[in-house]
Structure 1
Amino acid sequence: MIRRFGRASGMALMAGALMIASCSQSPGVKPEPRHEFNIGWSIYAGWMPWPYAQQAGIVKKWEDKYGIKIHIVQVNDYVESVNQYTAGKFDGVTVANMDALTIPAAGGKDTSAIIVGDYSNGNDGILLKGADQLSAIKGRQVYLVELSVSHYLLARGLESVGMKPDDVKTVNTSDADIVGAFGSPDVKAAVAWNPQLSVMKAQPGVKQVFSSADIPGEILDLLVVDTATLKANPNLGKALAGIWYETTALMKRQDAKGKEARAAMAKLAGSSPEAFDRQLATTYLYSDPKAAVTATSAPSLVKTMTQVRDFSFSKGLFKGATSAGAVGMAFPGGKTLGDPKHVTLRFDESFMKLAADGKL
């Protein structure tokens, strides 16, 4: 299975996305009500409900309820899917919180996160050879995908043991190459995500010393939609929420129907049912809309996004920005972070709340 989050080679794509976004904005054009929409997705355990819902007829059920058409479109490269959304080719896309901030939002595309779908609960980890404490990482070369969520996880891990980023030296390694690189006797430290993480952990003498389970709720997976499109077409948000919660309720079932749904998702991901279930075990899925509303409305989300924002700015991911607050974010209850006059990332709990209240 291909894991989401930006690759180092994707940085050129990110920069291109920022330029595209700045060139493609048409502030004076008000979106018209529409009946047909495109939602992009890429392969990751927490996003497989979307293609399965299309295959199983759940998408059609909610399309018919609201009189609209929703195309669930696969893009093989995660970064490219986010860039295509930023460029206006998709009305919405599945994306991690860090990338939603650093690609469309930082590029000026007003974006609303309408479904907080899951968080990584062990899908990402820091590995060491010959040591079982994170403090032993000091002075080592750490192989990872630079400027990705692996880099963020490393920063949070170092912070947890009173260390700074310059206490280690990072070595940029693509997700396609990291398993092979870690197999070298000379490579003693790495940060990776599943499924590569599981393969690397199985090597003799390797210990996982920190993981996303140590920072629960910080590496989030979202469904985001263009804010102006959503305002002009609220039924799109209602249908998407209906699709998500009906499908995730089914996949969480432990009976034959739930097992069948998960096996179908695994097949769509090019994985075995066993491997897919292992990835789900380290993915905290918000299948209950009430829990999702609570998580989205909690003060901890503002704290998380502050940390993500500050890390992203420190790594130069806000192209041309002079401060971390240049990209404004809005949260439930009227709370804002950064420049309130330039809010381009909004955590909108309203459609999740409709689902929680049984009002879809």
Structure 2
Amino acid sequence: MRSVINKNSKIYYQGKYWNDIFIVQKHISKIITGNENLGWIDWFKEKYSQTPFNHALFLNCGDGRWEREFIDKNIIRKATAFDISKEFIQKAKSLKGKRNIKYFVADANKIKLQKNSYDLVVNMAALHHVQYINRLCYQILKSLKKEGLLLNHDYIGPHRNQYSLPNWFLIKLINHTLPKEIRKSNLGYPHLPTMLLNDPTEAIHSDLILPSINRYFKILEKHDYGGGIAYELLTHNDKLFQKISSKRDIDKHIKNILGYDVIFTKLKIIPVFFSLITAKPKSCLNKVEIIKQQRVENLREKNSAKLYCIYTLFDLIKLIIWNNSWKTRLKMITKYFKILFKR
């Protein structure tokens, strides 16, 4: 199995995101917990962890922030965590102190988890980087104990941030209504060739997270908190964050953006970008269907490897348009039709 990986971990933890803004944090808390002053972690502890989970697994843990916080808040007693980046694992180990955390380096696409080992599995923005997402969800299912729990908090929006035209039109329109001093000046449609170059794993199958979870788990709670407009306008908006740091009053503009986000999400004009989900393992699964789904995934990835790591005709057309070489364009088209006629 050949997996798509990002070889440059330095691109993570860079810049400012929408959920770094205090008003946005309160907005998200209100949607998830019903109380803007109750954060989702404290809500999760109150609802699911009055008695701490004994052993939790953290997927693609990065620098280990979340497992440290879960232990410090007495949500879990001990943790196991992995990441493909040796640098991140080294940093996480250096920061764990005396906490009971075991770290190891692993590729989420290839990992084989120990069966019946964990009381809780935590996905904090990890699954949207996973190529073999069906395989990993099945591994998670087998690794959880019978009464175990999956906590999924992730981006579930358009794959590789390739937004629909109505979605992008609204983002551009609302950005234009903002005062120039906080209008996002570097707003551009996510450039697929650049994404494939900088991080081919970014949102690689974000649109398959929900179907994959639903396949193997029974969802207990699902709290969608939008982001279809607000995420793009607020994240990496340097001018806006400069005003925030200088304590300029821009709260009303941020609230307006969040208001538009809520309205257009409710009208289903834009999709949900972010969701918090809790789920239990399904007890009865069709083994034939499990094998079938894995074959489908394997074939999808085999074909994608031949097509420059893309998955849709629409994305192929984008690559063709953005490529300046007619020879390469012809090669792309030929490869696509060869795969198409082999099906």
Using structure 1 for the length normalisation, give the TM-score. 0.27
Of Structure 1 and Structure 2, the greater strand share is in 1
Greater gyration radius: 2
